[in-house]
A and B are shown apart, each in its own frame.
Chain A
Amino acid sequence: MNSMSNLSFIFGKKATVKAVEEHDFPAYLKKIGAYDDVVSGRQFCMSCGTRITIDNLQAVLPGQSGNVRFICENPSCLKNN
């Protein structure tokens, strides 16, 4: 990479990955109104259909109709984000 590209990479646009740390995750789920669904086991991974639990939940995603969608810890399921 030439030095100009280096500089534009370093000081240029950033691609943000939104994240919540483990300890804050239950509170975050409560805030977006998804905690009860998760602990009651009523939700499934949007990609592979695995039942979502508080242990295997890896990511959440806003759905188009105001619902929260869930992705399990299988990393290949992140592909559908």
Chain B
Amino acid sequence: MIPLTAVPVTLAAAGSDTGTFAAPSISYAAIAPILIVLSAACLGVLVEAVVPRPARFVTQVSLTLATLAAAFIDLIAIRGHSVVTAARAISIDGTSLFIQGTILVLAALSVLLLAERGVEPGSAIVAQAAVVIGSPADRRLASSDRVQTEIFPLTLFAVGGMLIFPAANNLLLMFVALEVFSLPLYLMAGLSRRRRLLSQEAAIKYFLLGAFASAFFLYGVALLYGYANSVNLSDILAAQNNSNQSDTLLYLGFGMLIVGLLFKAGIAPFHSWTPDVYQGSPTPVTAFMASCTKIAAFGAILRVLYVGFYVSSWNWRPIIWAVAIASIVVGAVLGLTQTDVKRILAYSSIAHAGFILIGLISVDKAGLSSVLFYLASYGLTTVAAFGLVTLVRDGNGEASHLSQWSGLAKRSPLFAVTFTFLLFAFAGIPLTSGFTGKFVVFRAAYHVAAPLVVIALIGSAVAAFFYLRIVVMMFFAEPAEDGPTVAIPSALSTISITVGVAATLVLGVFPQPLLDLADNAAKLRG
């Protein structure tokens, strides 16, 4: 086994028993990207208050994109950093930097989709979310092209939380980060301009179930504190080596903790929110959730398993086996019965979460780097796929029902070919990034879990069926008389989709640079 975590922690713990309070030393350089994003988010709130309405949209979009770009540039500047800072609460290492970078890129692509006003006047976001649905005000709202821009600072807050989440070395901080990115997301899920009832239902479901999951997480943290007398992952690890306490608290605590994390990552059997929320949310928000939230959640799972519970991998491996199989089966089988493209993609994401978990099982450097690669490539494909979904429209907004897509290839061959390519990537056909991702994950897991790999491969054959259903609909069916058309997006969405599609192709054909990057980044420090 490669020692992933055995870095001795030298920093003195803050708040020691001596009674005097020693301020923790903070490496501001290491957490600068996080600070940039969070302060820009606060600035965004001020922009809402100060900047006049006509200029607000442009200001917010530029501020958000500039922030994400600045944070990303700063991240590149501090690459290679490896430091545990802020009273051992934040661990900036290869893995967290890689995940943060991926989140920033994907968030920027999602923001481009959010800012799209070419296909729907006033973007996909409702102007006044509080208006009662069905009221006269709601009818006036439907015809207005007013734009709501609070979503951009909300997005930045969510991104800030997501940046901390995978870097948190302290379970309480991890919980705070979880809430920081979850609360904006609950809100964002309910902001759809069209089909508002569905959207609000999604928000409520996401909030209630998310609150449950948070409670589980917090209870797990409490139990682990009882076991290890610390909420720091390194201390919990040390306690497992040295403690002669009963393991009951450890296992119970770990179980509750992991439930909260699996929920965020959308892994069966904690997946039930995924289809409803993905379907109800405004599609750009779905793109953001499906890519960034998932990656942040997996980052946290990685850290908890690899740093905090490295020595008990024999105890948690069976759990990961079980949920990975459950995820693949649920995603592949239930996906077969779906008739809505967004729901199909949601079930596909559940199955993919199962594949990613398989990479985790090996508990070595290859496993870690394979998961990183998979997360990045899957996120890029996902953003592009949801970006394309926003383009298929009829008089009622997005037409995401499968039957409405029939014969779409005749109306817009370019759209159909591009979407098919992304579906093939989801299915793992060679020469797409999906194949490379599956390959690295399965290769890493093969020597510890060969049967699981075979199950996963059979699962992906089943899942291929519902991807093919979409392809069949688009290419081999006759177009309906009054079917939807493919809107021509503005430059913003076009850039976002193009980047996602190009990455899907390049990572399928020449994956070496990203593989190297993931290999180099596969270092954890606790």
The answer to whether A and B assemble together is no
Question: Which residues of B come within 8 Å of A, CB atoms?
Answer: none
Question: Which residues of A come within 8 Å of B, CB atoms?
Answer: none
